[in-house]
Amino acid sequence: MTFFLKVMACFFSYVLLESKTIVITGGAGFIGATVTQNLLKRGDSVIVIDAFLSLDSINGDRYNAMKRERIFTLQQQFPDTLHFYECNIEDKETLRAIFSKYQIDAVCHLAAHAGVRFSMQFPNEVAKTNIEGTINILELMKDYKVKHGVLASSSSVYGNTTQIPFTENQPTDMQSSLYGATKKSLELIAYAYHNLYDLSLTCLRFFTVYGPYGRFDMSPFIFMDAIYHEKPITIYGDGSAIRDFTYIDDIIQGIIKAIDKPAGYQKLNLGAGRTITIKEFISLIGDIVGKEPIISFQESFAADVNMTQASITKAQNLLNYNPQYTVRSGIKLMYEWYKEYENKKNSTVTV
């Protein structure tokens, strides 16, 4: 009996001491909902802030429906520890009301309009959310004394450099897109808040993330969907551009380690640390789906970059970040999800 009480005391002290309250902005999105799920599973309380926004006029509604469903499912599973707020991060007063309700240990700021092409089509919307929204979050962290934050930056900040692998201390002054410029701005603004208010802020530069529940506007989903439905794929350029594709669970591992480790001001690459050409990537998806890709080529955009490859040494040293997935193993897992998603979509349509 005494032993049982001791075990229970240990368990409760672990839960009470170790579990955290974490705000995740963009927590209904691809990366955000997966981080949320992982934090809830380990016992943290998570406050998700998301406005279900999308600039994707073709697939935005479908993507938002998937995000709503994911949050709904998580709410059913974790009714006591998931607190969801449908709120635009541009709305500072509603954010203030949320921040004032909780004792928050850390913020993981992922909400943004992501994507190079959307930033060409909707420059003002992208700048407003990605820059003004970020300032709102940092202001509230300052006001409510939340000392640690992890912010989503991007490999886009490296622009069209040919100096690979990309290292965190190389110059990032030549942006190829407004999207990249908003992420570079986020890093600069974060430094100012670190300097002025002593916030610990880790900016994570994600390298093309793919996997289950991935964004419909991103190449891994577009390629898989086209190959599965035997539709042509448009490649911008000749397909020799190289990319560091990173499987979602590797990114989540890095984000959670960064949440758990305040480290002053940091910029860190989170990638797989190895590359594949776009043509090889498509052919590998074809191999896993079991169909021959149909490819057509078009001229590349000035905003497209020719190569991305992360040096992950800094994240390895600081966070013990250790990516586990090869592109083949990650694409196989994504395909398992994709088939299920397709079946469900079709059964919904025919009912």
Catalytic residue list? 179
User: Judged by CB under 6 A, does residue 51 bind ligand NAD?
Assistant: yes
DSSP 114-138: --HHHHHH-HHHHHIIIIIIHHHHH
Piece of the chain touching ligand NAD by CB under 6 A; list 82-90, 98-106, 281-289, 337-345:
82-90
User: Judged by CB under 6 A, does residue 74 bind ligand NAD?
Assistant: no
CB of 87 to ligand NAD, least distance (A): 6
Alpha-carbon torsion 281, 228, 304, 28, what sign? negative
User: Could you say which of 83, 184, 215, 267 contacts ligand NAD (CB under 6 A)?
Assistant: 215
User: Could you say which of 23, 28, 107, 295 contacts ligand NAD (CB under 6 A)?
Assistant: 28
Piece of the chain touching ligand NAD by CB under 6 A; list 105-113, 135-143, 280-288, 307-315:
105-113
User: Judged by CB under 6 A, does residue 67 bind ligand NAD?
Assistant: yes
- Shorter beta-carbon distance to ligand NAD: residue 193 or 206: 206
CA distances, 91 to each of 11, 82, 164 (Å): 40, 21, 39
User: Judged by CB under 6 A, does residue 129 bind ligand NAD?
Assistant: yes
- Shorter beta-carbon distance to ligand NAD: residue 45 or 136: 136
- Looking at residues 138 to 157 of the shown chain, list those that interact with ligand NAD (rule: CB under 6 A): 152, 154
User: Judged by CB under 6 A, does residue 114 bind ligand NAD?
Assistant: yes
Task: Return the closest-CA partner of residue 55 out of 120, 4, 9, 11.
Answer: 120
User: Could you say which of 37, 172, 208, 309 contacts ligand NAD (CB under 6 A)?
Assistant: 208
User: Judged by CB under 6 A, does residue 70 bind ligand NAD?
Assistant: no
What angle, 0 to 180 degrees and rounded to 10, lies between the N-to-C axes of helices 219-228 and 278-289? Answer: 40
Residue nearest to ligand NAD (CB): 29
CB count, 10 Å around CB of 184? 21
The distance from CA 227 to its chain's CA centroid, rounded to whole angstroms, is 25
User: Judged by CB under 6 A, does residue 31 bind ligand NAD?
Assistant: yes
Rounded distance between C-alpha atoms, residue 237 and residue 50, angstroms: 35
- Segment (H or E) for 85: strand 82-86
User: Judged by CB under 6 A, does residue 50 bind ligand NAD?
Assistant: yes
User: Could you say which of 35, 106, 108, 110 contacts ligand NAD (CB under 6 A)?
Assistant: 110
What angle, 0 to 180 degrees and rounded to 10, lies between the N-to-C axes of helices 60-77 and 30-41? Answer: 10
Task: Please report, as a single letter, which amino acid is at residue 227.
Answer: I
User: Judged by CB under 6 A, does residue 178 bind ligand NAD?
Assistant: no
Answer for the pair 276, 245: CB distance below 8 angstroms, yes or no: yes
User: Judged by CB under 6 A, does residue 330 bind ligand NAD?
Assistant: no
User: Judged by CB under 6 A, does residue 184 bind ligand NAD?
Assistant: no
- The two most distant CA atoms of the chain are separated, in Å, by 73
CB count, 10 Å around CB of 165? 18
Tracing tokens 């001001």 back to the chain, one arrives at: 265
- Shorter beta-carbon distance to ligand NAD: residue 112 or 233: 112
Answer for the pair 200, 264: CB distance below 8 angstroms, yes or no: yes
Piece of the chain touching ligand NAD by CB under 6 A; list 22-30, 137-145, 276-284, 290-298:
22-30
Instruction: Return all residues near 350 (Cβ < 8 A) that are at least 6 apart.
Output: none
For the sheet with 106-109, list strands across it: 82-86, 45-50, 21-25, 106-109, 148-154, 200-206, 265-270
User: Judged by CB under 6 A, does residue 26 bind ligand NAD?
Assistant: yes
User: Judged by CB under 6 A, does residue 203 bind ligand NAD?
Assistant: no
CB of 271 to ligand NAD, least distance (A): 10
User: Judged by CB under 6 A, does residue 32 bind ligand NAD?
Assistant: yes
User: Judged by CB under 6 A, does residue 295 bind ligand NAD?
Assistant: no
User: Judged by CB under 6 A, does residue 30 bind ligand NAD?
Assistant: yes
Residues that bind ligand NAD (CB under 6 A): 26, 28-32, 50-53, 67, 88-90, 110-114, 129, 133, 152, 154, 206, 208-209, 215
